[in-house]
Amino acid sequence: MIDVQEISKSYRLIQALQGVSFGVEAGEIVGLLGPNGAGKTTLIRILTGYLHPDDGVVKVNGLDVLTDKSQTQAQMGYLPESAPLYPELSVQDYLVMIAQLRQLPEDQWIAQLSEAVYATGLADHLTRPIGELSRGYRQRVGLAQAILHRPKLLILDEPTVGLDPTQVVEIRRLIRRLAEHSTILFSTHILSEVEALCDRVIILMNGRVRADARLSDLASSPD
């Protein structure tokens, strides 16, 4: 589903990514783990086509993200660390706007909106302004817009950052449910997040991949 080959990216004198390579198979939940400043967000922005690398190739489902940007973005759902929400809009109006931006056929709106709302537990909040929701429910709205078009791939950047412990548990449960239908790559700086959701982790430090292994293999390693 994802094929990353020798990606590098610098910001003037700062080398954010250096020769990053990895793959993600369809159906996997993979955690991208690393401290703040490791290059996780830069990598995710490149994967989603919002940032160009200096070197390297990224393919999603066999398509080059740079040369087939619109086709690859149509296959993925993306939740950035700060979800692009409009606090003055109701949940329903916001999701309808996203359906229009995604150019979903109008005869599919009801079915796909219903699926996204049900999956994220937003049915009782459709008429509420987004600005009145808790941070946890705003994250749910962000996830709803990411899955509205039934993507094959979900990319989530720090999906539980800033949430209280109860909200973290709720979002983790939601991600597990979404994984029944989508491949998921999510970034985090919290090891327990990866342990709770993933069988596999990619550890990124100082812009380089330091480990790419199943958690069971890392746990049994003598190092």
Comparing 163 with 142, which gets the higher pLDDT?
142
Structure tokens at 97: 């706007």
pLDDT of residue 190: 87
pTM above 0.75, yes or no: yes
Residue 86 Cα distances to 37, 38, 44, angstroms: 28, 30, 23
Closest by CA to 81, choosing from 186, 157, 147, 134, is: 157
Structure tokens at 1: 């589903």
Contact, 192 vs 5, CB < 8 A? no
Could you report the per-residue pLDDT of 166-212, keeping only the tens digit for each? 878 888 888 888 888 889 999 998 888 888 888 899 999 999 999 99
Could you report the per-residue pLDDT of 116-138, keeping only the tens digit for each? 898 888 999 999 999 999 888 89
